[in-house]
Amino acid sequence: MTQTILERAPAKINLTLDVLSLREDGYHELRSVMQTVSLCDELAVELGAPDWRVECNDPAVPAGEDNLILRAARAYCARADIRTSGVRVRLEKRIPMQAGLGGGSADAAACLRALQRACGALSERALLEVAASVGSDVPFCLLGGTRLCTGRGEKMEALPPLAPCSVALCKPAFSVSTPALFRAIDAHPELTATGAADAERAVRAGKLPRGKKTNRFEALLTAEHDALVLALDCIESSGAALTSLSGTGSACFGLFAQESDAARCVQTLRDRGFWAALAHPV
């Protein structure tokens, strides 16, 4: 018998992202305040399908085993000892890819939530372990909200909900390789996220974080990409409280106390040729 479950996959932004050290397993110790936002993909997950496949409105999304959604589905079924002929997922993609907005991780996490809703076969702890085996950001995307993520990204501490605000998201046209950027940061200990500690303190106090330079990868990318400099300048001069790169980019964002200011910022970014979207914390 087939069963179809609908699930949303909200994008994430990194309000702060500090890279602390290189670990023996090749990953890096991180310290990142992460937040889910209203921009989302939508999934229809069909359990008991004739095969394992992703169908997406965007042809750039891999349909087969390269897709994190299928890795998550297979990992869930293996861990829960569910024998099924397959899982098919119809994916409506809205989160830009290779952006640092966690699109692939969000989709994988949404698939895990859908399977858990349908089967209820795993404890929360087992579900989080399956999520971590799929990718470093997947445990956060599984739970969402406002959290401090440490370790590889899988250790999480719930923080107070982000103060009410609007988010202007922007994606410059270039994309970056996450592993390459993590390798590059090891060679640049002088590049630090000088604003990260203050921003984390503000979030802990329930205040809207302010400032910039809260992401350690930002200086590495602004040195090479004028488009990112332009986008960050545009967001800051539109009156953002916090302006930052998200993840390893190339997307960046601004937090605004007033929605009208965020909406104006999005329009200005679009006028300059950027992909931009208005969102809210969720």
In the complex, the smallest distance separating the C-beta of residue 137 from ligand C5P, rounded to whole angstroms, is 6
Distance between CA atoms of residues 12 and 36, nearest Å: 4
Radius of gyration of the CA atoms of the chain, in A = 19
Toward ligand C5P, which CB reaches closer, 96 or 135?
135
- Catalytic residue annotation: 12, 137
By CB under 6 A, name the binding residues for ligand C5P: 27-28, 30, 135-137, 152-153, 178-179, 182
Task: Quote the least distance from Cβ 178 to ligand C5P, whole Å.
Answer: 4
Pick the closer one to ligand C5P by CB: 99 or 255: 99
Cβ proximity to ligand C5P: between 153 and 254 the closer is 153
User: What is the four-CA torsion angle of 223, 218, 104, 76, rounded to 10 degrees?
Assistant: 130
Q: How far is the CB of 168 from ligand C5P (least distance, A)?
A: 25
Write out the two tokens for 3.
Answer: 């069963």
* 182 or 275: CB nearest ligand C5P: 182
* Least distance CB 182 / ligand C5P (angstroms): 4
131/150 Cα distance (integer angstroms): 15
The least CB distance from residue 264 to ligand C5P, in Å, is 34
Distance CA(128)–CA(108), nearest Å, equals: 12
Q: Which two tokens stand for residue 138?
A: 């997947």
C-alpha span between 250 and 101 (Å, rounded) = 9
Q: Per DSSP, what are the bridge partners of residue 53?
A: 88
Question: Would you say 114 and 45 are in contact if contact means Cβ atoms under 8 Å apart?
Answer: yes
Looking at beta carbons only, is 180 or 205 nearer to ligand C5P?
A: 180
Residue in this structure with the two tokens 């002929």, named with its chain if needed: 85
**Cα–Cα distance between 250 and 221 in angstroms, integer?**
8
How far is residue 279 CA from its own chain's centroid?
14
Distance CA 14, CA 103 (A): 13
Tell me if 165 sits within 8 A of 208, measured CB to CB.
Answer: yes
Identity of the residue, 88 or 216, whose beta carbon is nearer to ligand C5P in the bound complex = 216
Give the shortest CB-179-to-ligand C5P separation in angstroms.
3
How far is the CA of 97 from the CAs of 59, 108, 147, 181, 182, in angstroms? Answer: 12, 14, 23, 16, 18
Q: Are 31 and 121 contacting, i.e. CB atoms less than 8 angstroms apart?
A: no
